[in-house]
A = this chain, B = another copy of it.
Amino acid sequence: MSHTALSDPSGSLVERLDLPPCGHGRLDGMTFTVKDNIDIAAHKTSYGSPAWRDAHAAPAHNAVCVDQLLAAGAHCIGKVVADEFTYSLDGESQFFGTPRNAKAPDRVPGGSSSGSAASIANGLADFSIGTDSGGSIRVPASLCGVWGMRPSLHRISEAGVLPFMPSVSTVGVLAARFENLNAAVRVLLRSSNRSIAPLQRLLLLVDALEISDKAVQNQAYSALERISDSVGITVEPLRFSQIAGGNTPLGDCNTRALRDLQTAEFQSTVGNWIEATKPELGYTFTMAYGNVQRFDRVAALESLVRCERFFEAINAYLVPGTVICFPTTPVIAPKKGTLTTLDNVLDFYDRTMTVTAFSGVGRLPEISAPVLTVEGCPVGLSFAAGHYQDEFLLAAVQEMLGEDADCRA
């Protein structure tokens, strides 16, 4: 199906849908799109792979999260592009095209929830649901300049979402306005109105700032100064080694912990299917999958232990009332077609995942706010809180910049 046939200049739609709400509630009147690794009944789920799509029947049921949204009054208008097997942060799909980065059209949208971010930034819907393991909601939200939230691990049902990395994967939301993000996330979280801790402490993860481009650093400092003034709380710089002990660099969250857990789990889900069926694979994915095939999961079990230690250390710091912030991505979006040389790929991935792995090992909720602009391109500023403190984080971010950001949008 060509994108022209869909009359979709955003390039984000895989399939236009018209699924009216099946109830009334907090999302009355809102529209949403669904990443193409989340089931819509009677429509095939491609997982970003034509081979997967053709080998699997259409699901009989919507994913649980889709039913939650329809029952709360939202209207589903389409299925949107995902990177192949959602195993990428690029947003350049060989099979489904590159969704348009509305605010930086010569740059990639980021992935793997590329269509989710683009459908929002291009104004197609009020919010979109995507998935995030290594940054697949946060990165495209940052690079396209929209809000994105990855909730605490396993707060939102993943039934009907294709199996990816069970210890890492989450379902989350992207939106142009904070109030829409907040409404959709709270429906999915099944949040109550119970009292939550007030915002008391605002930490800055210094290591994440230091590996960011200078202009991103400067913008982040200015934004944090405004936030600090507005809420009357001093920003406290914190190094990852203060959390994890010794001289532990932030990069260990990625290279010596989460990356191995992700690769081992990916071998057991998509990997088993690929080994059994030898499907047609895209060239970018083929390169990445070579590393998956060569990966020695037994040698990597140490990393799984390290993940658990980082989880404990991070969550001992992030008690209720405490938020930690950092640039969502250390860079603005790379130009389209440049993620083809090894140097470019490594620089983008290593630096980005050094930052995104922090919430990954911590199983933290993280919200990327579209508040920075560098060289005319968007970059997100992220806020994270302790595991299962999703409602506190939403309230804290709203207090810090919800209204402000919505006025700027």
List residues of chain A with CB under 8 Å of any chain B CB. 22-23, 39, 56-61, 63-64, 67-68, 70-71, 153-154, 157-161, 163, 165-167, 189-192, 194, 261, 264-265, 267-269, 271-272, 275-277, 297-298, 301, 304-305, 307-309, 312
Contact = CB atoms under 8 A, between A and B. Distances in A.
Given A67-B298, A298-B67, A312 B192 contact: yes
A333 B326 CA distance: 55
A381 to B, nearest CB: 29
Given A167-B159, A264-B159, A61 B298 contact: no
A272 B304 contact: no
Contacts of A272: 39, 57, 59-61, 160
B60 A276 contact: yes
A191 B311 CA distance: 12
Given A304-B68, A304-B190, A308-B192, A61 B157 contact: no
A268 B61 contact: yes
A64 B268 contact: yes
A271 B60 contact: yes
Contact of A57 (B60, B163, B276, B298): B276
A23 B300 CA distance: 12
A271 B157 contact: no
A171 to B, nearest CB: 10
A298 B228 CA distance: 43
B166 A298 contact: no
Instruction: List 5 A-B pairs, minimum CB-CB distance, nearest first.
Output: A57-B276, A159-B265, A160-B268, A60-B275, A159-B268
A70 B299 CA distance: 12
A23 B267 contact: no
A64 B272 CA distance: 13
Contacts of A271: 60-61
Contacts of A61: 267-268, 271-272, 297
B157 A154 contact: no
A310 to B, nearest CB: 11
A192 B60 CA distance: 43
A233 to B, nearest CB: 27
A63 B163 CA distance: 14
Contacts of A160: 268, 272
B64 A298 contact: no
A297 B67 contact: yes
Contacts of A22: 298
A158 B166 CA distance: 6
Nearest to A57: B276
B268 A63 contact: yes
Given A192-B308, A308-B190, A298 B23 contact: yes
A265 B304 contact: no
